[in-house]
């Protein structure tokens, strides 16, 4: 009764401490339920009615937290992009950047998709309509993409990656890794993590070769030490991605 008569001042603080009608944090529970259901039975099996009854609330209670079903899926996608960005940056830095960092980053991308197939499917499955997408979703997606652009630009400065437009390079790398991730979570590869890991390692190595600065030739012809940066790089071209 006391905490009810003295609610916290800010909405954020209130959201953290409120004691709702029937549920602790229905918004959170709805997102978790969506993730679990999609993982177990596919995105078609996610219905608002079953979600409500599963969570012990009415089947319209969800409209207190989300505008509609698409908004619930958008929340899953937003959470996914945030997680993905964190894991990509962590892998890049844990690998000490450079070439091993790039390899770890690629592996981290596939690992994220395999461990969070529900998030990944919603993020890239086209369930959130492009035209009326949540601006927050657009933002976090761009931020995750930017982590890849940043890594490529740093490698360009280190002379590891060829001096093409970093935006183009990033789109290419993302497309390739995304394709492998889809193969992995769609069960198109023979069952078992072994084939996924094998293809992942193979793909990242071929990718790295494909975008590598022409080291062997350059190193031979110009005798430039590998630590010396190649200044033909045009980092500005990457900061604005064509979207």
Partner DNA sequence: ACCTGAACACCGTTCAAGT
- Site for DNA, rule CB under 7 A: 18, 20-23, 26, 46-50, 52, 57-61, 63-65, 68-70
**CB-based contacts of 121, cutoff 8 Å, min separation 6:** 38, 43, 127, 185
Which residues make beta-bridge pairs with 200? none
183 binds its own copies (CB under 8 A): yes
| Among 46, 148, 160, 180, contact with its own copies (rule: CB under 8 A) | 180
5 binds its own copies (CB under 8 A): no
86 binds its own copies (CB under 8 A): no
**Residues of 222-232 as b/e, b for ≥16 C-beta within 10 angstroms?**
eeeeeeeebee
Given its own copies, DNA, none, residue 55, with its beta carbon under 5 to 8 Å by kind, binds none
Given its own copies, DNA, none, residue 46, with its beta carbon under 5 to 8 Å by kind, binds DNA
Given its own copies, DNA, none, residue 124, with its beta carbon under 5 to 8 Å by kind, binds its own copies
Q: How far apart are CA 36 and CA 32, in angstroms?
A: 6
46 binds its own copies (CB under 8 A): no
178 binds its own copies (CB under 8 A): yes
Q: How far apart are CA 28 and CA 15, in angstroms?
A: 11
For residue 163, the Cα-to-chain-centroid distance in whole angstroms is: 25
210 binds its own copies (CB under 8 A): yes
Helix orientation angle between 166-185 and 135-157, rounded to the nearest 10 degrees: 110
Angle 65-21-66 (CA atoms, 0-180°, nearest 5)? 5
Residues near its own copies (CB under 8 A): 42, 121, 124-126, 129-130, 164, 168-169, 171-172, 174-180, 182-183, 186-190, 195, 198-199, 202-203, 206-211, 216-217, 242-243
């Amino acid at each position: 009764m006391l905490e009810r008569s003295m609610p916290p001042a800010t909405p954020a603080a209130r959201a953290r401490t409120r004691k709702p009608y029937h549920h602790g944090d229905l918004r959170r529970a709805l997102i978790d339920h969506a993730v679990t259901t999609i993982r177990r039975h596919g995105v078609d099996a996610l219905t608002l009615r079953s979600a409500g009854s599963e969570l012990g609330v009415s089947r319209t209670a969800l409209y207190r937290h989300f505008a509609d079903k698409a908004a619930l899926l958008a929340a899953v996608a937003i959470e996914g992009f945030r997680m993905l960005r964190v894991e990509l940056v962590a892998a890049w830095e844990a690998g000490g950047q450079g070439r091993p960092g790039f390899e770890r980053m690629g592996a981290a991308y596939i690992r994220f998709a395999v461990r969070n197939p529900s998030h990944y499917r919603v993020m890239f499955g086209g369930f959130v309509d492009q035209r009326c997408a949540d601006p927050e979703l657009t933002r976090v997606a761009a931020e995750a993409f930017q982590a890849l652009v940043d890594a490529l630009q740093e490698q360009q400065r280190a002379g590891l990656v060829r001096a093409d437009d970093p935006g183009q390079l990033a789109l290419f790398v993302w497309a390739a890794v995304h394709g492998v991730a889809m193969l992995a979570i769609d069960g198109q590869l023979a069952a078992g993590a072994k084939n996924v890991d094998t293809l992942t390692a193979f793909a990242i190595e071929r990718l790295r070769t494909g975008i590598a600065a022409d080291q062997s030739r350059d190193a031979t012809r110009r005798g430039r030490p590998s630590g010396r940066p190649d200044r033909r790089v045009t980092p500005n071209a990457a900061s604005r991605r064509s979207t």
